[in-house]
Amino acid sequence: MKVILNLLFFISILLFAVACEKEQEDPNILPPHEMDVVEKRINELALKKRQDCLDKALNLATARVDSTLLQMDVLIPIDVEGTIIRPLRPMTPIKRQKTDTTAIRPFIPTARDSQ
C-alpha cells in the first residue's frame, strides 16, 4: 500500500512539474511589432498592384479610343472648313435574270387542275 501511495505521489509531482512548465513559442509566429511591418508591406504591395492595374486599364482604354477616333476620321472625312463631306451615291445594282424558267406545277395533279 505504501508503494502505491509513493507511486501516486511521484506521478502527481511529475504532472505538476509538466503543468508549470512554460509553453514553447512557435518559431513560425512573428512578434507583434514585426507583424505590423509585414502587414504594412502587404498593404503597400496591394496598393501598388491596384495602381498598376488601373494604369494598364487606362492605357488600354486610351489606345482603343484613339484607334476608334482614327477609324471614324477615315470613315467620316471632315473638310478643312469643318463640314462633313458627303459620300458619293452608290451605283444602281445590276438586275439578275432568272436562270431556271421551268414552270412550277404540283407533283400530284388534282381534279381541278385537269379541267
pLDDT tens digits for 45-79? Answer: 999 999 999 999 999 888 888 887 777 666 666 65
Give me the domain span that covers residue 55.
30-87
**Considering the domain boundaries, does residue 20 fall inside one?**
no
Residues 78, 72: Cα–Cα separation, whole Å = 10
Q: Where do runs of H (alpha helix) occur along 1-115? A: 2-20, 32-75, 111-114
**Considering the domain boundaries, does residue 3 fall inside one?**
no
- Select the more confidently predicted residue: 48 or 90: 48
**Considering the domain boundaries, does residue 11 fall inside one?**
no
Domain count, the chain: 1
Q: Is the dihedral of CA 44, 50, 56, 58 positive or negative?
A: negative
Residues 39, 36: Cα–Cα separation, whole Å = 5
Residues 64, 24: Cα–Cα separation, whole Å = 60
**Considering the domain boundaries, does residue 92 fall inside one?**
no
**Considering the domain boundaries, does residue 107 fall inside one?**
no
**Considering the domain boundaries, does residue 21 fall inside one?**
no
Which three three-digit cell numbers place residue 113?
387542275
- Select the more confidently predicted residue: 68 or 112: 68
Query: What percent of the chain stands above pLDDT 90?
Result: 17
- pLDDT tier at 80, thresholds 50, 70, 90: low
Judged against a pLDDT cut of 80, whether residue 38 lies above it is answered with yes
**Considering the domain boundaries, does residue 101 fall inside one?**
no
**Considering the domain boundaries, does residue 1 fall inside one?**
no
Instruction: Decide: pTM greater than 0.75.
Output: no
